[in-house]
Amino acid sequence: MKPTRILLIHTEETRTHFNALGIVENEPLETEILYTVLKQAGHPVRIYDPDREPACFEELLSSFAPDLVYADGVVKQVPYMLDYMQRTKAFSQKNATILGGVFAEHNYRSLYKDTVDYISRSYDPCVISALASLLSEPDFPSSLLENLNGLCYRRKDGSWTENTIHPFDINLLPRDIDRSHFYQYQSRFRLLKHNPLACVRFAYSCSHKCTFCYRTMMNCGRYVHKDVRNFAEEIRNIQCDNIYIIDDNFLVDPTTLSQFIAAIRELNINKNFICYGRCDFILKNKDLIKELTQIGFRYFIVGFEAVRDNYLQKYDKKIEVDDSLSCIHFMKSIHAGLYAMMIIDTDFTPADFTSMYRWVKEQQLEYVIPSIITPLPGTQMYDDCKEKLLTTDWRKWDYTHVLLPPAHMSIPAFYIRYQLLVLRLFFLARRYGSYDFINAPSLISRFLLGR
């Protein structure tokens, strides 16, 4: 059997003036997992990372000569994913193309294009590995594709077949991920001041169901986590002191977290951790949070979202502003760092912008991430408001664009209020000594030009 040559594209976040390069650059963990599985299956495989390497895509198609080209990403990356598929087919119609990732799981039909041959909706990398093995055989019968979990494929007549999708057990992923790409570019991977920063994933999906969040729908909405001991050993083997647990909510089950803490201590792992969590969990499990800080958890990313209860009710957060305040005060008391995530709602009045700034200032929050409300395709929020959308340009689904009509001001006025809030929060944080690792004038100019 002739092996299939595979090019894996780590799709860039944006091609516009403003981007988060230099502030947030995540290791392409999912791409590295797929790379590992394909290599183990004997396929020649290469990662193309356009944000970090100078190679021209067409030159790479010529020099590497792939048989299969893969790209994935979230909603804002879709136009770039499709662009790579089009350029691949323009180079050679013989090259097979496949898309995957978070967006593809529930929005696969919007990816049905003449330049796309396959769409992988499952998080099981073995689906793509099995497909690659089939492609090594000329004129294989399409019936062999029918059992590949969640695969969509285009038939010769242009119609699409959609295989049934089933949840994937994350414990079936390889325990030893080939992170050679990370080690080559590790100085470039960071989250704010944490650099270098390696990414790990403990679970797929989330046990909560906030109406604005897409991640709760991952893996068919089934929350599945790794064996705790294996996860701790995976972390131990990473050659990096800073670990970012990228689950949208790592703080889920007290028993599981207690097991994780015990495993970290038993294996004598001394690393710095960042994770996501909810403030209600933190308040109910204060002793557990203290233990997490003792084993190296330096920062917690918490979605406070709003400074008024009516907005929290709108998002179905199941918390109140008083809970947020209690959480902040507790975290400060144990010297745990916070990254506060806030939502800028298009129902905001000028007073709402002012209230959010004052609230942040009063709480002396160091890092605040204000995102314009973004209805993500596949969520209930998107279905409820899709008729009101101001644009269908997926590139603007980056949490810095106004996608719905503001209720109390014009779009330009809303942008001015938003930009002013972001800049005020930025300079407030600078007073605390934050953001000293970036070129402030350059970042500000890119932000203001990023519309």
Mean pLDDT, each 10-residue run in order, the chain (451 residues):
92 71 85 98 97 93 97 96 98 97 94 98 97 91 93 94 96 96 96 94 82 73 93 98 96 97 98 97 98 98 96 91 98 97 97 98 95 92 93 94 97 96 94 79 69 55
User: Do 134 and 195 belong together in one domain?
Assistant: no
Q: Which pLDDT tens digit goes with each residue over 381-408? A: 899 999 999 999 999 999 999 999 999 9
User: Do 204 and 267 belong together in one domain?
Assistant: yes
**pLDDT above 90 coverage of the chain, percent:** 82
pLDDT of 209 reads 64
Q: Which pLDDT tens digit goes with each residue over 293-324? A: 999 999 999 999 999 999 999 888 899 999 99
Q: Does 180 reside within a domain?
A: no
Domain final residue pick, 162, 179, 206: 162
pLDDT of 441 reads 73
Q: Residue 119: give the domain boundaries.
A: 6-162
Q: Does 170 reside within a domain?
A: no
The CATH code of the domain that includes 151 is 3.40.50.280
User: Do 301 and 414 belong together in one domain?
Assistant: yes
Q: Does 77 reside within a domain?
A: yes
pLDDT of 206 reads 79
User: Do 135 and 235 belong together in one domain?
Assistant: no
Q: Average pLDDT of the chain? A: 93
User: Do 320 and 224 belong together in one domain?
Assistant: yes
| pTM recorded for the entire structure | 0.94
pLDDT of 432 reads 87
Q: Does 61 reside within a domain?
A: yes
User: Do 283 and 429 belong together in one domain?
Assistant: yes
Q: Which pLDDT tens digit goes with each residue over 183-216? A: 999 999 999 889 999 999 999 987 776 666 666 7
Q: Does 183 reside within a domain?
A: no
pLDDT of 451 reads 55
User: Do 288 and 409 belong together in one domain?
Assistant: yes
User: Do 140 and 198 belong together in one domain?
Assistant: no
Q: Does 175 reside within a domain?
A: no
User: Do 74 and 125 belong together in one domain?
Assistant: yes
Q: Does 1 reside within a domain?
A: no
pLDDT of 14 reads 82
pLDDT of 212 reads 63
The CATH code of the domain that includes 318 is 3.20.20.70
Q: Which pLDDT tens digit goes with each residue over 354-366? A: 999 999 999 999 9
Strand partners, 194: 191
User: Do 246 and 344 belong together in one domain?
Assistant: yes
pLDDT of 436 reads 78
* Total tally of structural domains belonging to the chain: 2
User: Do 205 and 333 belong together in one domain?
Assistant: yes
414 half-sphere exposure, CB direction, 13 A CA radius: 22
pLDDT of 210 reads 64
Q: Does 359 reside within a domain?
A: yes
d(Cα 444, Cα 218) in Å, to the nearest integer? 34
